[in-house]
Amino acid sequence: MSLPADAATALEAFQAVGSWEQRARMLMQWGERLPALLDEDKIDANLVQGCESLVWLVGRLQNGHWQFAASSDARLIRGLVALLLARVNGLSAAELQAVDLPDWFNQLGLSRQLSPSRSNGLNAVLQRMRDLSSNT
Amino acid sequence: MLVPSPWRADFPAIATLQRQDQTYLDNAATTQKPQALLDAISHYYANGAANVHRAQHLPGAHATQAFEDSRSKVSQWLNVGDDGQIIFTHGATSALNLLAYGLEHLFNPGDEIVISALEHHANLLPWQQLAKRRELELVVLPLGDDGLIDLQAAAQLIGPRTRLLAVSQLSNVLGAWQPLPQLLALARAHDALTVVDGAQGIVHGRHDVQALGCDFYVFSSHKLYGPDGVGVLYGRTEALHHLRHWQFGGEMVQQADYHSASFRPAPLGFEAGTPPIASVIGLGATLDYLSSLDQQAVIAHEAALHDYLLRGLQARNGVRVLGSPQVALASFVVDGIHNADLAHLLTEQGIAVRAGHHCAMPLLKQMGLSGAIRVSLALYNDSDDLERFFEALDQALDLLR
């Protein structure tokens, strides 16, 4: 299964990162590129529980392909979510089931963001994505 | 160095953490352990573990002796005297739950339990849930701008329907000593029971429960440089008579039949099952170590370090310290910056501080904050630790601005 174009770009960029500052800057840049979430989607029902910041996640199957949208009031988690969406948007339901998301963040050099002690909420976002995709 | 710690080398983990480029400033969550504690636990396990209060054999006698010695040491640490008991629990949380269940029978619908707005969830939720079970009023004492419980409001709110007052000695978010003598006097004037959550207070200075005059005092070992898995509940003898048995099982029983049983009084009657024996022995060794230190020097060191922390925070643009912390810790937010972003970048730089709501969600909500960063100090910290933190903070703020 080939990587979506955005994901390939992200992978190349993050694998070239040398310092933590550079990684943080890039995360924030990715976060800024995340399309704004519609106000009507910024409702409590779409809030991901278990994050230190407010994170909204919505997902819709369109013509058999997943389109997720998200936002957060914190910049680094927004960047992490942008990297997540780059990997999953446009996948079919079967492809989404098959994708190894922890491995995706590992490849990006961001596996520590998924450690169980991290309360930034990336784990909660992944769980919410699994719930959304399995209920449809 | 401006503020060196003469006790740093007594805590082997600090050097290890430093080799991993980690600066540990999350001491209000838990502390590193002195070598004396590691030695005591290692000695216990290497020389023959045994259960306590049960067996007639020699290993059992040794373990029981060491376990009960720890009880005496805790007793001395709090100056319990002859008029009270020390009960070992599995943590401060389980001590507070023991009280909320063991005292439940005293409450009738409409009675009031008084807590304060700054309570840690451990001293909020057991009472909140008790209030729900028994249809009680949970009265929440408000705070002044200085982060202290408002005594004028307390004088109005603590009244004839107050059956119990449960308050923290030192806030884990605001770092301010609470006016316990006045609050306890208000409660006593209405014959209410008094519970002091000493989880943070116990770590700073020595406290005398007789002088304090509370009915119950609770703390956890692991915040006081001791092992985790042990909590301490002090109870005044008269107050302990109100406490009903809560958890049932081995060794807390006097006589058992299939359909009825009678139970031991405090302390053993409240220590059902095998207690955390090694940890209790370890706590005793930690108290021996702490007793060997020059207490005035420790207090002076902590005050100098705290001053250093506050000055550094106040010198930085946009940093807002919560309340008026007096000791041990400072929580802060930075204007225009999400605490989760700051926490992320401090973590990247090996600074171990706490971010979020600090198990005091209602307090943070009341302050209109989604979270804050907390820097909390221990006796082994020095001004170099704080310099590393400030450097990382400046770097993080540069990136985020």
> What is the tens place of the pLDDT at every residue in B369-390?
989 999 999 999 999 999 999 9
Instruction: Classify residue B260: in a domain, yes or no.
Output: yes
Complex-level ipTM:
0.91
In a domain, B223, yes or no: yes
The CATH number of the domain where A71 resides is what? 3.90.1010.10
What's the whole-number mean pLDDT along residues B81-109? 98
According to the model, what pLDDT value does residue A52 have?
Answer: 77
Last residue of a domain, one of B291, B315, B343: B291
Q: Give the domain CATH number at B129.
A: 3.40.640.10
Phi, psi of B380 (to 5 degrees): -90, -10
Contacts of B373 (CB under 8 A, 6+ apart): B331, B332, B333, B339, B342, B343, B346, B353, B354, B355
CA angle B344, B346, B348 (to 5 degrees): 70
Domain co-membership, B269 together with B303: no
Residue range B133-140: average pLDDT? 98
Query: CB–CB of B44/B63 below 8 Å?
Result: yes
- The pLDDT of residue B54 is 83
Chain centroid, CA B152 distance in Å: 26
Tokens in use for B32? 């590193």
pLDDT of residue B3: 96
Q: Are residues B44 and B164 in the same domain?
A: yes
> Who has greater pLDDT, B217 or A3?
B217
B98 is a domain residue:
yes
Looking at B259, B291, B323, the residue that finishes a domain is B291
Work out the pLDDT band at A126, boundaries 50, 70, 90: confident
Residue B61 lies in a domain: yes
- Same domain (yes/no): B69, B184: yes
In a domain, B206, yes or no: yes
- Domain identity same for B166 and B281: yes
Rounded Cα distance between B357 and B355, Å, is 7
Is the distance from CB of B327 to CB of B204 less than 8 angstroms?
Answer: yes
Residues B164-183 have pLDDT tens digits of 999 999 999 999 999 999 99
Are B328 and B28 within 8 A, CB to CB? yes
Give yes or no: B214 in active site: no
Nearest-Å Rg of the Cα atoms of chain B is 22
Residues B156 and B286 in one domain: yes
Tell me what pLDDT residue A136 has.
58
**In chain A, what residues touch B355 (CB-CB under 8 Å)?**
52, 119
pLDDT class for A1, splitting at 50, 70, 90? low
pLDDT of residue A50: 72
Q: How much is the average pLDDT of B114-127?
A: 97
Nearest Cα residue to A116 out of A104, A106, A124: A124
Min distance B393 CA to chain A CA atoms (Å): 13
- DSSP-based three-state secondary structure for A23: helix
Task: Flag whether residue A37 sits within 8 Å of chain B, measured between CB atoms.
Answer: no
CA distance B369 to chain A (A): 11
B257 within a domain of the structure (yes/no): yes
Q: How many domains does chain B have?
A: 2
Taking the Cβ of residue A73 and every Cβ of chain B, the question of whether any pair is shorter than 8 Å is answered with: yes
**Amino acid code (one letter) for A58:** V
Alpha helical stretches, state H, B5-140: 12-19, 35-47, 58-77, 92-102, 125-134
Contact B155, B186 (CB under 8 A): yes
The predicted structure's pLDDT at residue A119: 61
Which chain B residues are closer than 8 Å to A54 by Cβ? 370
Helix boundaries (H) for B315-371: 339-348, 361-366
**Given a cut of 80, is residue B37 above it in pLDDT?**
yes
Q: Please report the pLDDT score of residue A122 as a whole number.
A: 85
Same domain, B276 and B366: no
Min Cα distance B123 → chain A (Å) is 22
* Domain range enclosing B306: 8-25+294-400
Residue B299: per-residue pLDDT: 97
A118 pLDDT above the threshold of 70:
no
**Scanning every residue of chain B, which has its alpha carbon at the shortest distance from the alpha carbon of A76?**
B341
Same domain, residue pair B18 and B53: no
What mean pLDDT is reported for chain A? Answer: 89
Do B383 and B255 fall within a single domain?
Answer: no
Whether residue B75 is found in the same domain as residue B187? yes
Last residue of a domain, one of B236, B258, B291: B291
Q: What is the structure's pLDDT at A120? A: 65
The domain that contains B312 carries what CATH number?
3.90.1150.10
Instruction: State which residue of chain B sits closest to A25, comparing Cα positions.
Output: B399
Residues of B in contact with A76 (CB under 8 A): 340-341, 344-345
Q: pTM of this prediction?
A: 0.94
Residue B334's alpha-carbon distances to B27, B56, B327, in angstroms, are 22, 61, 21
Measured over the CA atoms of residue B120, residue B125, residue B126 and residue B130, the dihedral's sign is positive
Residue B235 shares a structural domain with residue B371: no
Question: What is the total count of domains within chain A?
Answer: 1
Q: Is B348 on the interface with A (CB under 8 A)?
A: yes
Is residue B2 in some structural domain?
A: no
B213 in contact with A, Cβ within 8 Å: no
Same domain, B265 and B305: no
Claim to verify: residue B266 and residue B373 sit in the same structural domain: no
Considering the domain boundaries, does residue B32 fall inside one?
no
Arithmetic mean of pLDDT, B19-48? 97
Q: What is the pLDDT of residues B266-305, one digit of tens each?
A: 999 999 999 999 999 999 999 999 999 999 999 999 999 9
- Give the pLDDT confidence score for residue A6 in this predicted structure: 92
Task: Report helix, strand or coil for B275.
Answer: coil
Average pLDDT, chain B: 96
Looking at per-residue pLDDT, the higher value among A49 and B341 belongs to: B341
Domain, as residue range, for A25: 5-134
CB nearest B340 (choices: A24, A28, A120): A120
Residues of A in Cβ contact (< 8 Å) with B391: none
Overall size of chain A counted in residues: 136
